[in-house]
Amino acid sequence: MSSILEEQNTTLNSSLLLEAHNLNHKFDYELFSDINISLYQKQSIAIIGTSGSGKSTLLNILSSLLKPCDGEVIFDKKDIYSLKQNELLKIRRKDFGIIFQAHYLFRGFSALENLNIAKFLSGNEIDDELLEILDIKKVIHQGIGELSGGQQQRVSIARVLSKKPKIIFADEPTGNLDKKTALVVMDVLFNYIKKHNAGLILVTHEEELAYKCDKVYKLDNLNLQEIR
Ligand SMILES: Nc1ncnc2c1ncn2[C@@H]1O[C@H](COP(=O)(O)OP(=O)(O)O)[C@@H](O)[C@H]1O
Ligand SMILES: [Mg+2]
């Protein structure tokens, strides 16, 4: 009973950011069917599951990168896959912040130049405090190729957050990081969503990180089970 009340409270106090209905997807074999999920402002959701269970595929569908075989992803009251390509691109560029394990930085440029690209595209200033917290301020003038994998990952996270997305989609965002740095990065993401009324959907195989989120789902046996 109390959890029902809590759920109602969350619904009343914060507004809906993203909603997925009846998602189905298959490549060579069926990955999942009838997946439903809702994300609210200030909420963090983790999706765990074994390798190959379809976590990245589900995140790609939720984050506008892959049209599902069936089902809808509602953002701003519209199914994003019913939009025209340029409208979808606008959402992906302005409202969605997508963090991959393999980060897509421009390698011929410095860390700062990569951040300036995000600044240019979004019109938002780079958050100096964020660079300090992520401990990348001292390498900001170095070329991307000279940075360690973990430093590159943190630059890419800073770049995504600089554009002030409404939703962060993160696929194993701490995969290249040691445990201490992983916790710093998770804190950065949690603080960001609280401060900016944003939401976070995190895919990870690390249960410990998953349990730092408000809700935890497990992708298993074609279904998404709520385990917290
Ligand atoms: N673009 C694709 N084309 C064909 N099969 C794919 C594609 N992307 C993923 N798959 C397959 O779907 C399954 C789930 O992959 P993925 O979503 O990456 O799982 P996870 O992230 O949980 O490890 C895997 O068997 C993978 O080979
Ligand atoms: Mg994956």
Indicate the length of the chain as a whole number.
Answer: 228
Q: Which ligand is nearest to the CA of 58?
A: 1
pLDDT, residue 175, reads 83
Residue nearest to atom 26 of ligand 1 (CA): 52
User: What digits encode the pLDDT tens for the residues 168-208?
Assistant: 999 999 888 899 999 999 999 999 999 999 999 999 989 99
Both structure tokens of 191: 């603080």
Q: Which of 23, 25, 27, 219 best tests ligand 1's pocket when mutated (most atoms within 8 Å of CB)?
A: 27
Q: Are 17 and 167 in contact (CB under 8 A)?
A: yes
pLDDT, residue 121, reads 81
Low-confidence ranges of the chain (pLDDT < 70): 1-14
Residue nearest to atom 27 of ligand 1 (CA): 52
Separation of CA 113 and ligand 2 centre (Å): 29
Residue nearest to atom 25 of ligand 1 (CA): 52
Taking the CA of residue 203 as reference, the ligand 1 atom at the shortest distance is: 21
Separation of CA 215 and ligand 1 centre (Å): 24
Question: Which DSSP string do the residues of 109-166 spell out, in sequence order?
Answer: SBHHHHHHHHHHHH-PPP-HHHHHHTT-GGGTTSBGGGS-HHHHHHHHHHHHHHT--S
Whole-number mean pLDDT of the chain? Answer: 91
Tell me how far apart the alpha carbons of residues 122 and 93 are, in angstroms, rounded to a whole number.
Answer: 8
pLDDT, residue 154, reads 93
